[in-house]
Structure 1
Amino acid sequence: MEGDQLEALDFPSEALHPEVTVVVTGEPPGAIEEESENEEEEETPAEVIDLLSLLDVLRVSAVMEDIIDQLSILGYIIPVQYERKQSVSQKSSHEGTSVVSSARKTSLTKERSAVPETKQRGLDSVLKKPTRQTMMTLETLKKIQNDRQYFSDVIANAMSEMQDSGSFKSLLEALGTERDKKMNFHEAITREEKGRREIKSLQKQLIDVKRERQMQVQKLEEKLEFWMEKFDKDTEAKQNELNALKAAKATDLSHLQDLAKTIREYEQVIIEDRMEKEKTRKKMEQDDLELKSIVKLQAWWRGTVVRKEIGGFKMPKKEKDDGKDSKGKEKDKRRGKK
């Protein structure tokens, strides 16, 4: 088909980009791997210059157009609709050469007839799956749709640039960008794996620390339980002892009150006995005094009666000498004085 299209062209090949200069810039794959080892060395991007004929340009354009068509068909086959913008490269591809555009229109006309049927089958298959699997499938399809749109835009831009200036520098730049993204992605994966290992190590340390703390807490709880039990036992023993002491104190107090009452009774008895003895002693003294007084009074009265010869009491008369009479008179006088 490409040979027929080339033969159908009426203008000479020298008029359409007789020579195409292809400039490849960037780092070779080996330099990316050795970048970490040779960070201080200066790296100069290698440049590869090659000349492409008009036939090669047309072949590359046809291949790119075929890729764009396949990506477009893939977008219609995927049973998920996404809103996306139409790229400038797709507009320029529609405004390209008449041979390439006619081929694309023919392929699209043939393949769009099968879109509703395939689309309906895809939707039915999605609806029949479980919800979780459907969500994962939708995320995967969304990523596929984004990647397809990106590749389609890159290829369309490269094809437009090739048709305009005869070079595909944008494609090389896109490849370099993707290479950088891939390196960044690998670095991110490496960092993530390292972070996961660190997280696992920290989780293990955390589990060990938790286990150790749990053992310590268990030991402390056992000690606390032991001391609480001991405290309860000691408190109960002391309370029993205190109750016994209170009971003994109450008993002693009652006995002491009884003793005090008995002592007061004894003191009252002693006081009464002393008073009774004192009364008896005073009465005996009074009786003795009265008896002595009575005896004295009787002796005096008897003496008076005898001396004065009162009543039938008379002194017997005796004859004595004069000397004796004088002495007797003196004695009588003395007695009378007394």
Structure 2
Amino acid sequence: MSLSRIQSLRLAAVLEDCSDQLDILGHTLTVQISKERDDAATQEKARLTKLRRDCQYILQHVSWLHVELEERQSLSSLLQVVEEEEQKKKAEDMRREARSELVQIKETLQRQKEQLQQKNEKLEDMSQLAKDLCHQLNELTSKMAHKKKLEERNIELQLQQTQWESSQAEKLLDDKLELLQRQLKEERRVHEESDKFLQNQREQQLQQWQQCTKQMLQEKEQQLNNVRCKRTVNLDRLVEMKRKFREMEQVVMEDREEHERLLQQQAEARAATKVQAWWRGCMVRRGLGSFKKAEEKKKGKKKKEGKKKK
């Protein structure tokens, strides 16, 4: 990449200034590193040392670029440095990825190794368990065989005991059956005799009940006739009492009507008397009718007496 003379000079001046600044920064870092002597500042000292190396590296490339600008008016070294840095960065990334993959592979192998070890331990445990189970199975088989023999012997003894008990039970049942048959015959005989006796008693009781029933029917018939006669007499009395009641009711009604009529006449007479007295008072106060003439006579007498006095 070629530049003009003026551009080259301008960039050279800028790079020279940057070179001076980097030189000052490197000197400052050297002084600061020399001051860091405490063990606690080891990490800070390492960081400053790395920063100083970076400054020196940049200063070196800036010096090369400055010389190239002055001599060739070109930036090819800068492009080469950039490409080299990119290549380094890519290589660093690849190394980092390779290290990461290697770590993952190691971790995977370690896990697989641990799993394999666990499986081996499980296989050993299962093998031991299988041996124990085989031993237990053998013991159980021998115990089962012995138990089976004992059970067969026990069953045989129980069968013999059951057969003996069955024979005894059959004998006992035969004896009971014979006894029950004798009891049944005796009960049949007693039952037949009881039936005959009860039949005779029932016939006698039936005859007695028939006689009693006939007598009771006759008595009830007589009582019914008496009740009918009394009912007829009572009905006649009731009819007579109803007739008398109607007559008495008629007399009471007539007496009540007469009493009410008298009361009404008395009330009318009192009302007429009150009306006459009121009317007479009105005529007297107003001087009507015969009361008017008497009033005039009184007035005439008063006038004559007045004239005589004069």
Q: Does the pair score TM above 0.5?
A: no
Provide the TM-score with structure 2 as the length reference.
Answer: 0.30
TM-score with structure 1 setting the length: 0.28
The structure having more radius of gyration, on CA atoms, is 2
Structure number with the higher helix fraction is: 2
